[in-house]
């Protein structure tokens, strides 16, 4: 590096990269906890979906105490609805973080502005025996992540375009397939399986099963 021209070029390159952020690719890490429970972080903010729930409710997945102990301070807890296999009021109240869901729309809007590079769009979707249920489209660092929750039909997700990762229960995949609805997403993660439930996918490149708790998905941005 004794050529001065090279040195100047390097300095310019460094200034350029630090100004425009080209040198900082990042990732959103998603950890599957159980049922529809997901932990997402970009290394700065911590967001939980449908967690904490009541472990083992309705015969669905139990989780270890460590899943609760590892919850970071100032996490945001987002819920699709308040059934016990998705939500536990008792556990939510134990943590300092704030709970968001279909019951506090205005608060949900505020959340978008409080997390850097993050926005969330709720969709009112139907779920048996729940008076209120939301599905969500999260846009975080430009990545579009769809959270379906427990809603029974694929119509809402089929109306959303350009999804990067869709988190959906198996019945949404089946409903879309039976009714010839296209889910416009690069990847699908199937969640809310019963312990040891089998679900056959014919396209493992695109569809992964969240059948093992603790599974990690990294979404590069
Ligand atoms: Zn459920």
Contacts of 117 (CB under 8 A, 6+ apart): 42, 140, 141, 142
Can you give the pLDDT at residue 4?
A: 62
pLDDT of residue 24: 63
* Average pLDDT of span 35-44: 97
> Which residues of the chain form beta strands (DSSP E)?
27-34, 37-41, 46-49, 76-78, 98-100, 118-124, 134-140, 143-147, 163-169, 185-191, 207-209, 216-220
In which domain, by residue range, is 198 found? 28-220
Is 12 domain-assigned? no
Total domains in the chain come to 1
The CATH number assigned to the domain holding 55 equals 3.60.15.10
Residue 146 maps to a domain: yes
- pLDDT bin (cut points 50, 70, 90) of residue 1 is very low
The alpha carbon of 8 and the centre of ligand 1 are apart by a number of angstroms equal to 59
Domain assignment of residue 14, yes or no: no
Q: Is residue 46 part of a domain?
A: yes
Average pLDDT, the chain: 91
Residues 6+ apart with CB under 8 A from 208: 187, 188, 189, 190, 217
Is residue 16 assigned to a domain?
Answer: no
CB 166 within 8 A of CB 156: no
Which tens digit of pLDDT belongs to each residue from 78-106?
A: 999 999 999 999 999 887 678 999 999 89
Per-residue model confidence (pLDDT) at position 98: 85
Per-residue model confidence as pLDDT tens digits over 145-178: 999 999 999 999 999 999 999 999 999 999 999 9
The alpha carbon of 194 and the centre of ligand 1 are apart by a number of angstroms equal to: 10
Is residue 7 over pLDDT 90? no
**Residue 130 forms part of a structural domain:** yes
**127: CA distance to ligand 1 center in Å?**
9
Residue 75's nearest CA partner among 98, 50, 51 is 98
Distance 28 CA to ligand 1 centre (A): 25
Residue 2 lies in a domain: no
48 within 8 A of 76, measured Cβ to Cβ: yes
pLDDT tens readout for residues 46-84: 999 999 999 999 999 999 999 999 998 889 999 999 999
Whether the Cβ atoms of residue 192 and residue 151 lie closer than 8 Å to each other: no
Tell me the CA–centroid distance for residue 184 and ligand 1, in Å: 24
Protein residues placing their CB within 5 Å of the ion ligand 1: 85, 150
The verdict on residue 162 lying in a domain is yes
How far apart CA 42 and CA 53 sit, in angstroms, is 23
pTM of the prediction? Answer: 0.88
């Amino acid at each position: 590096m004794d050529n001065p021209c090279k040195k100047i070029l390097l300095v310019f390159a460094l200034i350029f990269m630090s100004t425009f952020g080209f040198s900082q690719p990042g990732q959103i890490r998603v950890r599957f906890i159980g049922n529809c429970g997901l932990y997402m972080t970009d290394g700065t903010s911590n967001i939980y979906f449908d967690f904490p729930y009541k472990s083992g409710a309705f015969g669905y997945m139990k989780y270890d105490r460590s899943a609760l102990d590892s919850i970071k301070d100032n996490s945001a807890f987002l819920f699709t609805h308040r059934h016990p296999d998705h939500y536990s009021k008792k556990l939510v109240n134990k943590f300092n973080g704030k709970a968001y869901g279909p019951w506090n729309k205005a608060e949900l809007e505020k959340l978008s502005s409080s997390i850097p590079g993050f926005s969330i769009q709720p969709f009112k979707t139907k779920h048996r025996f729940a008076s209120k249920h939301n599905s969500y489209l999260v846009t975080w660092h430009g990545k579009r992540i769809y959270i379906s929750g427990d809603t029974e039909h694929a119509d809402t997700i089929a109306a959303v375009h350009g999804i990067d990762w869709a988190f959906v229960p198996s019945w949404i995949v089946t409903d879309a397939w039976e009714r010839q609805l296209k889910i416009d997403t690069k990847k699908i993660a199937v969640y809310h399986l019963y312990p040891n439930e089998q679900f056959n996918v014919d396209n493992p490149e695109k569809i992964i099963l969240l059948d093992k708790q603790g599974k990690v998905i990294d979404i590069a941005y």
